[in-house]
Amino acid sequence: MRHSFLLLVLLAASLPIGVIAQHSPYAGEAARPVKALSDQEIGDYLAGKGMGYAKAAELNGYPGPAHVLELGSRMQLTAEQRAQTHAVFVSMQTDAVTVGRALIDRERALDAAFAAKSITPESLANEVQEIAALQGRLREIHLKAHLAESAILSAEQIAKYNELRGYGQQPAPAGEHKHPH
Domain range for 118 is 33-164
Question: pLDDT value at position 177?
Answer: 55
Question: pLDDT value at position 180?
Answer: 46
pTM of the model: 0.80
| Side chain identity, residue 113 | A
Q: Is there a domain that residue 48 lies in?
A: yes
Q: Is there a domain that residue 113 lies in?
A: yes
Q: Are 164 and 75 in contact (CB under 8 A)?
A: yes
Percentage of residues in the chain with pLDDT exceeding 90? Answer: 74
pLDDT for 51 beyond 70: yes
Classified as helix, coil or strand, 32 is coil
For the chain, the average pLDDT equals 88
Q: Is there a domain that residue 17 lies in?
A: no
Percentage of residues in the chain with pLDDT exceeding 70? Answer: 81
Q: What is the DSSP letter of 24?
A: P
Angle formed at CA 140 by CA 134 and CA 146, multiple of 5 degrees = 145
Q: Is there a domain that residue 92 lies in?
A: yes
Q: Is there a domain that residue 68 lies in?
A: yes
Please choose, from the candidates 137, 131, 133, 141, the residue with its C-alpha nearest in 3D space to the C-alpha of residue 37: 131
Angle formed at CA 97 by CA 157 and CA 120, multiple of 5 degrees = 130
Question: CB-based burial of residue 129 (10 Å sphere; 0-12 exposed, 13-18 middle, 19+ buried)?
Answer: exposed
Question: pLDDT value at position 181?
Answer: 44
Q: How does 50-65 read in b/e, with b if 16+ C-beta sit within 10 Å?
A: bbebbeebbeebbbbb
Question: CB-based burial of residue 96 (10 Å sphere; 0-12 exposed, 13-18 middle, 19+ buried)?
Answer: buried
User: pLDDT tens, 102-151?
Assistant: 999 999 999 999 999 999 999 999 999 999 999 999 999 999 999 999 99
Q: Is there a domain that residue 57 lies in?
A: yes
Region 149-169 average pLDDT? 94
Q: Is there a domain that residue 11 lies in?
A: no
Overall domain count for the chain: 1
| pLDDT band, very low/low/confident/very high, at 13 (cuts 50, 70, 90) | low
| Residue that wins the pLDDT comparison between 23 and 101 | 101
